[in-house]
Structures are given as structure tokens and as C-alpha cells.
Amino acid sequence: MYFKQITVPGLGCNSYVIGCPGARRAVVVDPKRDVQDYLDISRDEGMKITHIIETHVHADHVSGNLELKSRTGADIYYSEHAPVTFEHKALKEGDIIEFGMVKLEILYTPGHTPNALSILVTDKARADVPGLILTGDLLFVGSIGRPDLAGAEILEEQVKNLYESLYQKLGRLPDYLEVFPAHGQGSLCGKGLSAMASSTLGYERLTQPLLKLPSFDAFHEQIAGGFPVRPKSFTHIIQTNTHGAPLLERCPLEQTLNPDEFDRIRREGATVIDTRDTASFGGFHIPGAINIGFEKQMANWIGMVIEPLDNLLLVVDDREKYDLMTTELHRIGYDHIFGYLSGGMSAWIAHGMPIDSLSPISAQGLKRQLDNGNSGRVVDVRTPEERQQGFIPDSIHVPMTDILAEGLELPEDEEVIVVCGTGYRANIVASRLKQDGFSHVHSLAGGLTAWGNAGYSLTV
């Protein structure tokens, strides 16, 4: 049996190719939207992709099922309970898909969503019993799926489903089964996910507190609150996956835009995403631009800050970065990409176009202002857990997710210095505050990392 896990760093999405080289057939489970990896495997291993199986309707990334079907002709399969409106085949509890040495058995395991499946996988060349299970977003390595994404109105039902799927459905399965989930570290479909690619049922039962509770009431008390932030992109992604994502060839054509063309689209209401590093953006940028640079969880930050249906313009260092950025955007359903600024900010400035600045402040500069009682308002946008490890004296704490959701309740003419761990999140928040009308916004260059390296202490 052929088995391959394919991971999208940052989003933490896992997809799988399961095949039988002898039968020359393969299944893809939970495909990402950019499907070339699967086509390469199909070609290199000599296996035709005949089935595309979704463990559930995903909330955090757009599926590549229709893209892959358009290239291979493979059938798409969902749970019989899935509300998808495009052509697919239904799977129910106990269904078997079998070819060559591969046997897949379907389990109905709702909880993360009402339409979730898990898949028992048997390699018949080795044994007649399953050796591994694809758990979708039910059970992760080090965590379990969150039950709130399907909506508050069915949360109680989902918590009950989650308990029954984990404790009863999976509870009947042997400890030795290897667990391969649909997500890993970086995903917002659970919290505290491990960086490990797989585990076993036995090890997860031994080590996860949520799998060792004495009753449903105890489980309910632990699980029914404190969910991770829900990015604004999730609703759009669910709708896209329900009705079918457009093929990538139908998305707007890529365009290299000169400053005049770029500015015209910007003035018509497009959102400018500037992907440069924090220092470059802080020095000068296009007015109203949002700074979201390249890092592992970039797609999650985009999903929190940018509206999914916005028309988008990109400021990138080069064409390679543009291609990488468009791939990240397509993965989360941000398809209205109208091009990038040819020549970058140098061309923009040389053309006499308007610029703005965050006027980043150094650790030494902020320390002098604090000592003189002239620091404005220092806003720490890290998580509560990070804040507990220490903070700059006299700073206030407003987590980034709160500011993005509700704004910052300070006068717009007050000086604001935004602080995070390295400066990355501070620039996102600072650029958002500038968009909201704050006129005196700075970010701490290098964040608390620079503050500590400069020899300054934190309050604990």
C-alpha cells in the first residue's frame, strides 16, 4: 500500500494519498486547493486518482476537490449528511471502498462538524485488520476538534456528538491504531495541536486530559468554552466549500501593475496587502496598506484582518513572492487578486505617489520616553499567556484579536505605540489602526525581543 501525508505549513492542513501500486489506483483525502502535489504522485507512482474523499466541510481552507476532479475525473465523496450542493457521492457509516491491497472503512464521527467522517485504513498486504485511522478534525495529535464552528445554535448538540465520537465510536477501537489527523500545529480548528505528524489512539488516550474524563458532564464543563478565535474568513470558506470553489483558471488574471494602474484600483476600494518585512513597511508604505509579511501563520493572520471578498492588491519584493502569496490567498478563498506593484515601493516613490509611515521606535527610544513620562500609550497586543511572562512597565494589554474584532477604545489623536514579541503582529495592528483613523501610531521595532536584547527588564 502507498501512503503519503502532505502538509501545508502555517495553516497546519494535512491531506493524504492512499493507493495500491498493483491496482494502479489511488484515493486523495482532504485535498488542498493547489493540487499539483497529487498529480505529481499520480504520475510518478503510476496510480490513477479515482476517489476524492472529504472528511468534512472544512472551515479553515478551501478544498481542492473540484480542481482535482477537473484534472483527473475522480469522483468526490462526502458524508451523506454534508450540505454540499455540487455533484458528489454520499458515504455513510460502514461503507467500504476497496481496490487492490487497500481497504477503507467509513465511520460517521460528528462533533467538529455535524457531517464529519473518519476512515479506517487496512493494508491487506500486511493484515486483514486496520492499521491506521484518518480522524479528520475529530482527534488531533495532542488535542481534539473544536465543536463551535458549525454555529452557536447547535453547539450543545455538537459537544454531545464530539463526546460520543471520541469516547464511544473511537473508544471501541484498539490502542495500536495509528492516528493521522486532518490538521497539525498552526491550525485554528483546535488548540494546542502538536507538531508531530501522527500518533496512536493509545498514546492520545494516555496523554490527553480531555480523553480521560469520567463523564459527559465533566467533558462538557471542559470543552464548552474558551475556543480559539474564529477568523472572519471561516464563514466564507465554509460557504465556498459547500457550494464548490471556482477553478483557479477562473480567478482574475495575474497582472503586473504600474503605479498609475495600481493606484487607480486602490482608489476604487481595493485593499493593499504589503508583504515586506516590518522594518521596510515601517519606514514607508502606501497609505492604508496592511502589513502582513511572510511567516508560517500568514494565512491565519490574513483571515483575521482582511475581508474575504475584498479586491486585493499586493506589494511584494519580486514575482516569486507574488506567486507564493497568491497560493496562500487561494488556499483560504481570497480569489479577487488584481495584481502587484511592478518595481515595488521604489517605483511608487519615484513616480511621486503618496506614502505613509509607522515611524517605528527603537527599544532605546521607548525607554527614554518611558523614563521621561512621555511615552504615549504603550499597547501590548500579545496573548494573555505571553503577557503573563512579562511586559513593559506601564503598558496596557489589549490582545491583537480583540483589536481586530472590536477596534481600540482610545482617542484617535493619542500617540499609540504597539508592542508584540518580534514586531510582526504589532505592524499588523498598527497598520490596521492607521486605517481606522489613528494619526500617531508607532510599533516597537523588534518587539520585546529587541527590548530584552537591549538590556531592559520586564514587569512580571
**Do both 92 and 217 map to the same domain?**
yes
The predicted pLDDT at position 431 comes to 92
**Residue 159: CATH number of its domain:** 3.60.15.10
Q: How many domains would you assign to the chain?
A: 3
Taking residues 223-227, report their average pLDDT. Answer: 74
Q: Are 358 and 427 in contact (CB under 8 A)?
A: yes
CB atoms within 10 A of CB 373: 7
**Do both 169 and 291 map to the same domain?**
no
The tens digit of pLDDT for each residue in 80-111 reads 999 999 999 999 999 999 999 999 999 999 99
Taking the C-alpha atoms of residue 292 and residue 279, their distance in angstroms, rounded to an integer, is 12
**Do both 216 and 293 map to the same domain?**
no
- What grid cell was written down for 233? 474568513
Taking the C-alpha atoms of residue 1 and residue 99, their distance in angstroms, rounded to an integer, is 10
358 inside domain: no
Q: Is the dihedral of CA 196, 321, 287, 263 positive or negative?
A: negative
Which strand ranges, in their side-by-side order, compose the sheet holding 416-419? 396-397, 377-380, 416-419, 441-443
154 inside domain: yes
244 inside domain: no
**Residue 449: CATH number of its domain:** 3.40.250.10
* Cell numbers 505617489: residue: 353
Residue ranges making up the domain that contains 259: 251-350
Q: Which of 290, 318, 350 is a domain's end point?
A: 350
**Do both 345 and 372 map to the same domain?**
no
Taking residues 216-243, report their average pLDDT. Answer: 88
pTM: 0.88
The predicted pLDDT at position 225 comes to 66
Average pLDDT, the chain: 93
**Do both 165 and 270 map to the same domain?**
no
Q: Which of 306, 325, 350 is a domain's end point?
A: 350
240 inside domain: no
**Do both 210 and 342 map to the same domain?**
no
Q: Which of 319, 350, 381 is a domain's end point?
A: 350
257 inside domain: yes
96 inside domain: yes
E strands within 138-263? 139-140, 143-144, 178-181, 199-200, 256-257
Q: Give the pLDDT band (50/70/90) at residue 332.
A: very high
